[in-house]
Amino acid sequence: MENFCTICGAKLSDDKVCRDLYNELSYYSLTHPNKEFFIHQYIVDAYLAQHASKDIKPIKIALALVGLCLFVNYNYTGRQIQNAHIELTKVKKNWPVFVRPESKIDITISDILLTKTYSSRDELIKKWATSVWGIWKDQHAAIMQLAGLYIENKKNKI
Ligand SMILES: [Zn+2]
């Protein structure tokens, strides 16, 4: 029997939950030959931002959103986002609470798992992350401000 994730709409077979698909995709991204780019970070942030709920700590949601912001607006690699997360947690102690909008997007993790090549899969992961960023549009300004904190801090160090 076919099921769907009630949050993102991903197609789930039999006994699987969306988290299983995430784990499957993480296996792909963590063993990806391009370690320098570290596409895994896009998956972590996109999945979290797409499934954000009040059971997840505000810091985690905020960092995921900052990650998507840095990718979409500043073309950061996964590795650069990972570094930004580390730096940001050093300067920021109180995290705003971001509440996930109800809107859904066309791309889900089950579509990504159907792709066969590295290039097609990486391409779809980027589209997915960009679309997830899009559903948060009402909160973009606040997220940009948070990301700006990191960028400003980085500028001061140079
Ligand atoms: Zn889902």
Distance between Cα 114 and ligand 1 center (Å): 15
Distance between Cα 10 and ligand 1 center (Å): 5
Largest Cα span, the chain: 57
Residue 69: its pLDDT value, please? 98
Distance between Cα 90 and ligand 1 center (Å): 31
For 42, 45, 153, 155, the CA distances from 129, given in Å and listed in that order, are 6, 8, 25, 26
The closest of 114, 143, 142 to 128, measured between CA atoms, is 114
Residue with tokens 């596409």: 39
Render pLDDT for 58-81 as a digit per residue (tens, 0 to 9): 999 999 999 999 999 999 999 999
Distance between Cα 147 and ligand 1 center (Å): 26
CA distance linking residue 88 with residue 93, whole number of Å: 9
Render pLDDT for 108-139 as a digit per residue (tens, 0 to 9): 999 999 999 999 999 999 999 999 999 999 99
In degrees and rounded to multiples of 5, residue 97 shows phi and psi of: -95, 120
Residue 36 has pLDDT above 90, yes or no: yes
Confidence band for 154, pLDDT divided at 50, 70 and 90: confident
Distance between Cα 91 and ligand 1 center (Å): 32
Residue ranges per structural domain of the chain: 2-157
- 83 within 8 A of 151, measured Cβ to Cβ: no
Residue with tokens 């997360």: 85
- Terminal Cα distance for the chain, rounded: 57
Q: Using CA of residue 61, residue 15, residue 117, residue 35, what is the dihedral sign?
A: positive
- 146 within 8 A of 62, measured Cβ to Cβ: yes
Distance between Cα 13 and ligand 1 center (Å): 13
Distance between Cα 3 and ligand 1 center (Å): 11
Distance between Cα 109 and ligand 1 center (Å): 7
Distance between Cα 19 and ligand 1 center (Å): 7
